[in-house]
Chain A
Amino acid sequence: MSDAAETDRTPVEDADLCIVGAGPAGGIVAHRLAATGARVVVLEAGPRFDGDRRDQLDRHVRPGLGDPWEMGGPRDEFTSSGGSFYPLNASRVKGVGGSTLHWQGMVMRLHERDFELASRHGVGVDWPISYDDLKPHYAAAERELGVAGAVDNPYAPPRDEPYPLPAFPPSHSDSIFAEACERLGIDMHSVPNARNSEPYDGRSSCVGYGTCKPVCPSGAKYTAESHVEKAESAGAHVIDHARVRRLEHDESGERVVAARYTTPDGETHRQEADQFVLACGGVENVRLLLLSASAAYPDGLANSSGVVGRYFMDHLFAGMGGRLDRPTRQNHVGFNTSETHQFYDDTDPVNGLKLEFLNYAGPSPVVDALHADTWGDELRTQLADAYGTHIAMGALVEQLPREDNYVTLDSETTDDLGDPVPEVHWAVDDETKAALTRANEIQASVLDELGVDIDWTVGPENTGPAFHHMGTTRMGDDPDSSVVDAECRTHDLQNLWIAGSSVFPTGGAMNPTLTIAALSVRIAESLQQRIE
């Protein structure tokens, strides 16, 4: 890790662009703009995790060593309220690379219907852009991330080109599922993975560590570290351990003029720039805007609409599994190779859902061994009995935007710098629960067809979030009901942009990072026109 105390973290003079956050959104924008010759500075609250990934691998597999990415503690205090607990710090990483450091790496395009839910089905809200508007940026994003996939999904939205990398072949357990799915008329297809199936972009192909989430020691899994590195090679300045606490605007209230950040030595600095991009996630984007309230913006910067923080959404997990009477060969790799999107566009319920055929069902012997309360022959027998025949399905289910799911500031609780912490007020509504039930019904039909002895279910009563923070600075044409416009520029301030899933008006049921990357490419194009 970088030396927190001795690195020069003073502001960069004459910056064209200041980006807050060095995850995939910030990294892609930084690289693209730096490559055009713009003077770019990126302020990242967390550290650089330099060097190899031995420490993170150790922390992940060996109990007793703490979080691999060092989340938690006074810096990361938060409050969870509402009907459902939200485990915020398990769901994000602060550091160069952002949450791609710990993500699994599934990268699907949203469907056409996701951009038109209100028009088509009378629920949620339409995006101010269509799938066709974003289609070329999706293709660019797939190249940026290095997506391994196959054009074998009959339910995917239209595309004009193959994936940059070939898909990973199906697993043995996929072939087991295929027997049942064929009898049930369920179509299986490959999973687009941001993971190298062959060497790409200077990174290794996957070597099967099986620890994708939360760490890929080989570097085969895309992390935004690669874009940050490219941005720095192109001349961008990346300052880690730079916790941005306020954005300051000019007298007119029309432009942001500076980002104030505090460094580990206790100093507070002021980074000026012509343009600013917020790219620190669906929770911290909100927090920073609300912390930056002023006389001109008493309810928070860029919050004339009053919807900053509102409409917080996540995807909900549904799952089911059990054991078969034959080997299922699980936990060799940490990613999936088959899904079905056959039910995604169904309308009863209208919430999107996608189904996953897991390659990591049941226990891993080495992990179980390290938690066992015995050893020797007894342990060997336990592990052999526990491993080998588990099989399971997962699903992501869409949660529609609701005003009463929101992120705000908890003025009663402060972090170690004295700033109010984020409060996530969130609950799972009945419509989402109905969609979870539907996902469970399909899962049960497949597992029953296989003759699986089902021994666990995650459904409406015990579901949890998939750690995709969406909706809190929603995109729209109407400044009274949205925070950013179709270009992802705030309605209120002409040089403040927001990149990331916080701008999603609806979230679909697809993992969001490819759409984050596509929007970031689009933002970079808009910024390029203004900075030239």
Chain B
Amino acid sequence: MRLTRRDALTVLAGLGIGGGGAVAVDRFDPPTAERQPTGVGDDGDFSTDVLPTMVAAAAVVYPSEATGVSEFVETYVLGRTTEEDRTEAMRAAVTELDSVARDWYDVPFSDLSTEERDSLLRELGVDTADPVPDGTISERIRFHVVNELLYAFYASPTGGRLVGIENPIGHPGGVESYQRETMETPATEEGREDE
């Protein structure tokens, strides 16, 4: 299954960030072209320092059949930067994760093999850590890296479909899906691998 930029924008729209979702929602600001998430202003470090590590982590925490991960993660993470405090906390957690990789393996986290990244995260105890935004290093990585990525994936209709639900909690997918007997596969789904 292929993740797309549109999938990421759909998750962001569900969070009231930017546009691109299929559903307009009154309480959240309506999607407009001006409010598309476009990045973090002039801070180029975020793109070079944070995004590669987040994409590398996604390759571990996402199922192996997921493709299009880079574009999906980059779009989602950049969209998330509308919240300054959250962005800085994510940057700090990612920086620490990368520092651990450099300490233990002498290379950036993103240069490790998928198996090495998985092992590093588990050795840090991130798999069993409580997600705490200002907790220990393991707790912060769990919150700002692993859970951020898992939320983006499984709150998206595409990620949800992989486990049986096209309208997951947090996604404003309308009031038709709960009435259906079977999971709807969008017309565009067929041939997605070829997009």
Question: Closest residue to A326 on the B side, CB-wise?
Answer: B181
| Chain A 75-97 interface 0/1 with B at a Cβ cutoff of 8 Å (1 = within) | 00000000000000000000000
Say yes or no for B33: interface residue by CB 8 A criterion. Answer: no
**Majority secondary structure of chain B interface residues (helix, strand, loop or mixed):** loop
Whether A365 contacts B165 by the Cβ 8 Å rule is yes
Partner of A208, one of B62, B130, B173, B180: B173
Whether A217 contacts B28 by the Cβ 8 Å rule is yes
Whether B151 contacts A366 by the Cβ 8 Å rule is yes
A383 and B168 CA atoms in complex are apart in Å by 12
Say yes or no for A269: interface residue by CB 8 A criterion. Answer: no
Say yes or no for A6: interface residue by CB 8 A criterion. Answer: no
Instruction: Give the residues in chain A near B107, CB-CB below 8 Å.
Output: none
Instruction: Give the residues in chain B near A219, CB-CB below 8 Å.
Output: 25-27
A372 and B14 CA atoms in complex are apart in Å by 22
Mark out the residues of chain B between 144 and 178 whose CB falls within 8 Å of any chain A CB in the assembled complex.
146-147, 150-151, 153-155, 160, 162-165, 167-175, 177-178
Instruction: Give the residues in chain B near A418, CB-CB below 8 Å.
Output: none
| Chain B 178-192 interface 0/1 with A at a Cβ cutoff of 8 Å (1 = within) | 111111000000000
State the interface size on chain B (CB cutoff 8 A): 53
Say yes or no for B37: interface residue by CB 8 A criterion. Answer: no
Whether B177 contacts A332 by the Cβ 8 Å rule is yes
Say yes or no for A210: interface residue by CB 8 A criterion. Answer: yes
Q: Which of A58-66, A395-403, A515-523 is the interface stretch?
A: A58-66
Instruction: Give the residues in chain B near A197, CB-CB below 8 Å.
Output: 175
| Chain A 189-228 interface 0/1 with B at a Cβ cutoff of 8 Å (1 = within) | 0000000010000011111111100000111000000000
Whether B165 contacts A375 by the Cβ 8 Å rule is no
Instruction: Give the residues in chain B near A364, CB-CB below 8 Å.
Output: 165, 168-169
Question: Closest residue to A203 on the B side, CB-wise?
Answer: B26
Whether B169 contacts A331 by the Cβ 8 Å rule is yes
**Majority secondary structure of chain A interface residues (helix, strand, loop or mixed):** loop
Instruction: Give the residues in chain B near A52, CB-CB below 8 Å.
Output: 16, 27-29
Q: Which of A24-32, A163-171, A495-503 is the interface stretch?
A: A163-171
Whether A375 contacts B25 by the Cβ 8 Å rule is no
Say yes or no for A357: interface residue by CB 8 A criterion. Answer: no
Instruction: Give the residues in chain A near B180, CB-CB below 8 Å.
Output: 172, 329
Partner of A375, one of B130, B146, B173, B177: B146
Whether A210 contacts B62 by the Cβ 8 Å rule is no
Whether A54 contacts B133 by the Cβ 8 Å rule is no
A332 and B146 CA atoms in complex are apart in Å by 24
| Chain B 103-134 interface 0/1 with A at a Cβ cutoff of 8 Å (1 = within) | 00000000000000010000000011011110
Whether A370 contacts B151 by the Cβ 8 Å rule is yes
Spell out B's residues near A (CB within 8 Å).
14-17, 23, 25-29, 60-64, 118, 127-128, 130-133, 135, 139, 143, 146-147, 150-151, 153-155, 160, 162-165, 167-175, 177-183
Spell out A's residues near B (CB within 8 Å).
52-54, 57-58, 61-65, 168-172, 175, 197, 203-211, 217-219, 327, 329, 331-334, 337, 359, 364-367, 369-370, 372-377, 379-380, 383-384, 387-388
- Residue contacts A-B, CB under 8 angstroms, 16 given: A52-B27, A64-B130, A64-B147, A172-B178, A175-B181, A204-B25, A210-B171, A211-B169, A218-B26, A218-B172, A329-B180, A365-B163, A365-B165, A366-B160, A372-B150, A376-B63
